[in-house]
Amino acid sequence: MVGKTALGRYRLRRPLGQGSNAQVYLADCLDDPPRQVVVKRIHDHVSKHPHFRQLFAAEVESMANFTHPYVVRLLEASIDDPHGPCLVMEYVPGVTLEQVLELTGPLDPVRVCYLAGYLCHALQAAHDSGVIHRDLKPSNLMVLDVATPRESLKVMDFGFAGFAARPYIQLAELTGRGPIHAMGTPSYVSPEMIRGDRVDARSDLYSVGVILYELLTGRLPFDHTDLDRLLTAHLKDAPPPFHKVGAGHIPDAIEAVVQLALAKYPNERQQSARELLDRLGRAVGVDLWEATAPEGYEAGLAVAEKLDPAETPEPTAEPADPFQIAYRFEAVMPERLAAAKLRGFVEDLGGQVLASDPGLIRLRLGVPPGYRDGEGRGNGLLGWLRAWRRPAVPRGQEPIELELHLERPDPSQPQLNVLLRLAPMKDYPPADGSLWSRRCETIYFTLRRYLGQ
């Protein structure tokens, strides 16, 4: 890839690194005046995922709809570039906080508090916009002007963040089969992510607590090499006091802020990034919020230029097909409780879960035993034979496909807005339109009862 030109105007100069999802390059923008940028090319094995276009669109949306002086900015994106899907971001000259820690060991407490100030400003703005990072760690924090009076910090990889407004219920939660995965990096992941609880902005504060603990003591609060033991420690073990890990010189007031951020349950921690920073400021006698505030920044959303995420359009309120019926309603509950109730709805009605993505769950009800997708399709003799072998269903019992579009308008509240779409399966068109409408209405009211409405 070195020497090639991405998106028609970014010549790749050299690799900067790679992760499980992408290769990252330093590139020269060929515009006038020229400038350096970072191009993140998505790996081929990732782009072949069946839901890749939707996931790519979500990443671009997450980065494009939130900008801040202390966050690495998205400049451009394309899913159909000849060299593969790419994201173009500003180039930030500096080193990661992970590299700083490796070179210097534990940092001076006041220096740590100022770095926390830049981080908390970025997080507070993100959380106010409904964006949660979910994977904070020192390698995702770029330090600028290292060890100078101008030292500051920028947060990277908000593209892997998620909009708190789009609830994600994992497939395993709906089917009872398979593991429920904890997102994030194991050493920095919050207990609620491991438990599978609803995740909000306070999950990021736990990760901040882990980072502060590491910067101040030179070690992680839980450093087990066995993954199961490490995750169990996040869930159950108390972090060692600073004096037991050779950091007894750290003021008690600072340690108290860090230990509070590492509480096992979100309601026991600080409730916002600003509260965490204000407590640190009181511990060192400095108004850190004011001291680290970005000059001239006004909170709000800004949209990046020239984006081409190929997003899936939002569903229309009234489908054109007369057999497609939509209902809207509200439910008040956290995601984990909604997952349990939806699982009961599916099991009690003999349904099938087809897919679960952020903000969208797809189901089928009434599929006859032995049915396989595509059996009733095709032309000629083969198509006729497949249709003839297709399992029959009685009139008025045709299978129904459901889409649940979920949105949380206020990430701090448990209210869910639900758009329910019902449609017939292509192989089983309804024989009676009025009966079909009544069946859809019954399913709608049944679902509302399961969700406590």
Sign of CA dihedral 310, 25, 141, 110: negative
- Is the Cβ–Cβ distance between 326 and 420 less than 8 Å? yes
What is the spatial distance between Cα 426 and Cα 401, in angstroms, rounded to a whole number? 10
Please state, in angstroms and as integers, the Cα–Cα distance from residue 328 to each residue in 252, 408, 419, 441, following that order. 52, 13, 5, 12
Residue from 359, 342, 364, 361 nearest 449 by CA: 342
What is the spatial distance between Cα 129 and Cα 164, in angstroms, rounded to a whole number? 9
User: SS3 of 370, please?
Assistant: coil
What is the spatial distance between Cα 251 and Cα 240, in angstroms, rounded to a whole number? 15
Residue scoring higher pLDDT (303 or 31): 31
User: SS3 of 228, please?
Assistant: helix
pLDDT more than 90, % of the chain: 38
pLDDT at 310 over 50: no
Cβ-defined contacts of 251-255 (< 8 Å, 24+):
251/109, 251/283, 251/284, 253/282, 253/283, 253/284, 254/109, 254/113, 254/216, 254/280, 254/283, 254/284, 255/216
* pLDDT for the residue 103: 94
Task: Convert the pLDDT of each residue in 328-375 to its tens digit.
Answer: 998 887 676 788 888 889 988 889 998 887 678 999 998 888 777 655
* pLDDT for the residue 193: 82
* pLDDT for the residue 45: 66
What is the spatial distance between Cα 206 and Cα 300, in angstroms, rounded to a whole number? 25
Per the residue annotation, which of 135, 157, 200, 427 is the catalytic one? 135
* pLDDT for the residue 249: 94
* pLDDT for the residue 321: 73
pLDDT at 222 over 50: yes
pLDDT at 9 over 90: no
* pLDDT classification of 306: cutoffs 50, 70, 90: very low
* pLDDT classification of 239: cutoffs 50, 70, 90: very high
User: SS3 of 385, please?
Assistant: helix
Task: Convert the pLDDT of each residue in 28-61 to its tens digit.
Answer: 998 877 889 988 887 776 676 656 676 677 667 7
* pLDDT classification of 251: cutoffs 50, 70, 90: very high
* pLDDT for the residue 179: 57
Task: Convert the pLDDT of each residue in 96-128 to its tens digit.
Answer: 999 999 999 999 999 999 999 999 999 999 888
* pLDDT classification of 269: cutoffs 50, 70, 90: very high
* pLDDT for the residue 313: 38
Task: Convert the pLDDT of each residue in 312-325 to its tens digit.
Answer: 334 444 455 778 99
What is the spatial distance between Cα 421 and Cα 238, in angstroms, rounded to a whole number? 46
Q: What residue spans of 268-398 are helical by DSSP H?
A: 273-284, 288-291, 335-348, 380-389
What is the spatial distance between Cα 294 and Cα 206, in angstroms, rounded to a whole number? 24
Residue with tokens 């609060």: 221
Highest mean pLDDT among 135-139, 285-289, 306-310: 285-289
What is the spatial distance between Cα 48 and Cα 363, in angstroms, rounded to a whole number? 24
Angle at 320 between CA 317 and CA 324, to 5 degrees: 75
* pLDDT classification of 131: cutoffs 50, 70, 90: confident
pLDDT at 147 over 70: yes
DSSP, res 244: G
Q: Which amino acid is at 80?
A: D
* pLDDT for the residue 186: 84
* pLDDT classification of 157: cutoffs 50, 70, 90: confident
* pLDDT classification of 145: cutoffs 50, 70, 90: very high
* pLDDT for the residue 393: 82
Task: Convert the pLDDT of each residue in 171-183 to its tens digit.
Answer: 777 777 765 555 5
Residue from 232, 272, 305, 400 nearest 63 by CA: 305
* pLDDT for the residue 453: 61
- 124-128, 328-332, 383-387, 435-439: range with lowest mean pLDDT: 383-387
* pLDDT for the residue 304: 37
What is the spatial distance between Cα 334 and Cα 164, in angstroms, rounded to a whole number? 12
pLDDT at 235 over 80: yes
* pLDDT for the residue 384: 47
Q: In what order do the strands lie in the sheet with 415-424?
A: 325-332, 415-424, 400-407, 360-365, 352-357
- Is the Cβ–Cβ distance between 38 and 29 less than 8 Å? no
* pLDDT classification of 227: cutoffs 50, 70, 90: confident
Residue with tokens 């769950």: 361
| Domains delineated in the chain | 5-91 (3.30.200.20), 95-291 (1.10.510.10), 325-450 (3.30.310.80)
Q: Which amino acid is at 105?
A: G
pLDDT at 4 over 50: yes
- 287 catalytic? Reply is no
- The average pLDDT across 135-152 equals 92
What is the spatial distance between Cα 390 and Cα 367, in angstroms, rounded to a whole number? 11
**Token digits of residue 120:** 């908390």
Which H helix or E strand runs over 423? strand 415-424
**Token digits of residue 4:** 């090639």
Task: Convert the pLDDT of each residue in 201-219 to its tens digit.
Answer: 999 999 999 999 999 999 9
Written as one string, the DSSP assignment of 77-132 is EESS-TT--EEEEE---SEEHHHHHHHH-SPPHHHHHHHHHHHHHHHHHHHHTTEE
pTM here is: 0.66
pLDDT at 62 over 50: yes
Residue with tokens 């908000």: 158
- Is the Cβ–Cβ distance between 163 and 55 less than 8 Å? no
